[in-house]
Structure 1
Amino acid sequence: MQLTVLGGCGAWPTAAQACSGYLVEYAGFRLLLDPGYATLPRLLQHGTVDAVDAVLISHGHPDHCADLNPLLRARGLSDDPPPSLPVHAPRGAVDAVLALDKPTMLAEAYRLHEFDPGDRFGIGPFTVDTWLLPHFVPNAGIRLATPESVLAYTGDTGPSPDIPRLAQGADLFLSEATYVHQVPTADAPYLLTARLAGQYAHQAGAARLMLTHLWPGTDPATAREAAAEAFEHSIGVAAPGLVADLGDTVRTLDRVDRHDTG
């Protein structure tokens, strides 16, 4: 399994980075995980829009799903439209994005498969397990498994005893880390710190940790240092173009270290 970061900026995109977006590939299947703001241009650096086989969305905040609209436009309005794109999302999560155009305009561009966080299902070669994790809106923590490797992803979440279960023994734990050491009181039930992400990675026995969804302007090195207080293995910070090959530890460590900038 290979993960390519399209973006990992929390809340809004910056000049240097798109919001949450990840391309996950295995056995020739390309799964787009969370097409947040400004991720489509990054995706196009890695292939055409018709090369995406399915989309999986953790929750309905636009920094995780807004670029589903231009993705569907680019596919559905082309001269030779590809087959309908399977879109998997929690119930109601993409209603607002799909409502940006009149219903008939992109009706043939996608097939919506809604699920409830807690469901288990398949997407291509991936087995997908989901957990309902605390956030401002319903959010699905996602565990993608193949016979060779496991990727665990929090989406956006606050503290939860389910997070170590989600990430148990994962080859890569992709964790939200909006803040470094402390979340403002009002948001504390719904977001994580880099320090807590490191603690969860340690509890889960994950092989590697990648921090994502950092608040714009956060110093990636500071976030890494906070996570390293509890997690002694490889720690990276999501940045555009970073590639993690699950099962290829040497190459992954090399790339994480060289691209650890936000």
Structure 2
Amino acid sequence: MRLTVLGCRQGMPADGQASSSYLVSTTSARILLDCGPGAATALSSVAHPSDLDAIIISHLHADHCYDLLTVGKTLLSGRLRDPANLPTLPDAARVEWPPVPLYVPKGGRARLDILASAFPVPSFPMLDRSFDVAFDVREYEPGDTFTVGDCEISMHALNHSLPNCGTRIESPEGSLAFTGDTAYTPDLVPLAQGVDLFLSEATLELPEVTSHGHLCAAEAGRAAADAGARQLVLTHFITADETWLKARKADAERSFHGPVHLAAPGRTYEISSPGRDYR
């Protein structure tokens, strides 16, 4: 199993870095976790969207899902490259590749349809149909489980200003847990219990004093330690300043004594279960 960081910025892209987006790859599955602004460009450097077996969105803040429209239009525009296909565009059943399963929180489909309707392409109406042709939209609720390739996936309710679920992925090659966005909660422990890699937001310098719902690095380290995770990757940063980032890494290391990494675009992390080496 491999984790590739596509984007790691909190909020909107900055310093040449895309917002939240991560590619998880195994022998038989490629799963995109979140798809924030800039993710489509970053994804295009490592894979075509049609190569994805699933996209999972943790919650519907723009910095975690906005580029879904761009990815969808990329999938649909493949039909336009061959003029012979133009007469068949209205027929959704004839799209060249199957729709990519897209998992979003309950109620998400209606919000995505609004996003698509804001940018119509009157000359090619098919390009307005991302969320009924390019994607197979599947709404999930906390506690839901599903299978993608060789991966068993479970969704864990956490604590954010919009409904947010952490994603746990288990495969024969290794296991990974991703927080999305959340304040500290005991529910982080079952999400990350015993995983080979814990991908955790670390937005703040100090514990949160508002109700928005974010972690600081010290809390991420504490959750990783309590869960018995094997390694921790911090992400969702407010800055690319090296001094600030190194200080957050040190904060996490005070509680968690396994390897602590700082996410950055293009960085990859090999994930394997104890006693196995898939690198």
Matched with 1:23 is 23
1:179 aligns with 2:204: yes
- Of 236, 240, 252, 1:227 maps to 252
Paired with 2:49 and 2:25, the residues of 1 have a C-alpha distance of 15
Deviation at 1:248, TM superposition (A): 8.4
TM-score, normalised via structure 2 length: 0.84
Deviation at 1:30, TM superposition (A): 1.1
CA shift digits 1:73-112 (9 cap, x unpaired): 0101222642211101111235333322249621311111
Whose helix proportion is higher, 1 or 2?
2
Matched with 1:41 is 41
Deviation at 1:136, TM superposition (A): 0.4
Q: Which runs of 5+ in 2 are unaligned?
A: 81-95, 118-124
Matched with 1:123 is 148
1:216 aligns with 2:243: no
8 Å contact kept, 2:197–2:230 = yes
1:98 aligns with 2:122: no
Is 204-213 or 74-83 further displaced after alignment?
74-83
Which amino acid is 2:25 matched to?
A: E
CA shift digits 1:143-198 (9 cap, x unpaired): 00002311011110011111011111110000111112232x224x6111100100
Q: Tell me the secondary structure at the aligned position of residue 180 of structure 1.
A: coil
- Of 202, 205, 228, 1:205 maps to 228
Which amino acid is 2:12 matched to?
A: W
Deviation at 1:127, TM superposition (A): 0.6
Q: Tell me the secondary structure at the aligned position of residue 202 of structure 1.
A: helix
Matched with 1:13 is 13
What's the C-alpha RMSD, in Å, of the aligned pairs?
A: 2.0
The count of aligned residue pairs is 248
Paired with 2:259 and 2:49, the residues of 1 have a C-alpha distance of 32
CA shift digits 1:218-262 (9 cap, x unpaired): 52111101101101111111110110110289xx9xxxxxxxxxx
Paired with 2:268 and 2:164, the residues of 1 have a C-alpha distance of 25
- Of 230, 237, 241, 2:262 maps to 237
8 Å contact kept, 2:178–2:198 = yes
Instruction: Write out the 4+ residue segments of structure 1 that deviate beyond 4 Å after TM superposition.
Output: none
Matched with 1:156 is 181
Q: Tell me the secondary structure at the aligned position of residue 5 of structure 1.
A: strand
Which amino acid is 1:95 matched to?
A: A
Paired with 1:186 and 1:79, the residues of 2 have a C-alpha distance of 47
Is 90-99 or 233-242 further displaced after alignment?
90-99
Q: How does 1:43-82 map to 2 (within 5 A)?
A: 43-79=43-79, 81-82=96-97
CA shift digits 1:43-65 (9 cap, x unpaired): 01102222222111111011111
Paired with 2:171 and 2:12, the residues of 1 have a C-alpha distance of 32
Is 11-20 or 103-112 further displaced after alignment?
103-112
8 Å contact kept, 2:29–2:151 = no
Deviation at 1:217, TM superposition (A): 4.8
8 Å contact kept, 2:175–2:272 = no
Say if 1:95 and 1:132 are closer, same or farther in 2 by CA, change over 3 A: same
Paired with 1:202 and 1:177, the residues of 2 have a C-alpha distance of 15
Paired with 1:214 and 1:61, the residues of 2 have a C-alpha distance of 16
